[in-house]
Amino acid sequence: MAKFITRTIQSSQIVVGELIDNEVKAIGTMTESGKIEQEKALKVIRKAFPTQNVLVLDIVHNEGQYRMLEEDFIANAEKVEPKEEVEQVEADLSEEIPA
């Protein structure tokens, strides 16, 4: 029987507006991973549109479940060491070895 790895992925779609001559016009959307709030969304769009007077018109949060065969996941994933083990190895390497 096939085994699957399932994850829930969140994203936020930001509706971007621009203030021109005291009128706000929607100029597009941007999608960011994770669930972001107004303040962070404003920072993201100001960085993307540095020369324009932009503002956040709306933020739509999305969530979806995705799955992949465990075999495919292992073939495509990067193996990581457990955090405690990595910290211990780093600590061991930083200790001086007596002569």
Please indicate, yes or no, if residue 48 is contained in any of the structural domains.
yes
Kind plus residue range of the DSSP H or E element containing 55:
strand 54-69
Query: What does each C-alpha distance from 43 to 11, 12, 36, 52 come to in angstroms?
Result: 16, 14, 11, 13
Segment 76-87 shows an average pLDDT of: 80
Percent of the chain predicted with pLDDT > 70: 85
Residue 83 has what pLDDT?
A: 80
Please indicate, yes or no, if residue 99 is contained in any of the structural domains.
no
* Structural domain span for residue 16: 4-94
Q: What is the pTM of this model?
A: 0.68
In the predicted model, is pLDDT for residue 41 greater than 70?
yes
In the predicted model, is pLDDT for residue 48 greater than 90?
yes
Number of domains within the chain: 1
The CATH number that applies at residue 19 is 3.10.20
Q: Which residues have CB under 8 Å from 46's CB, separation 6+?
A: 54
Residue 98 has what pLDDT?
A: 54
Tokens of 62: 């999305």
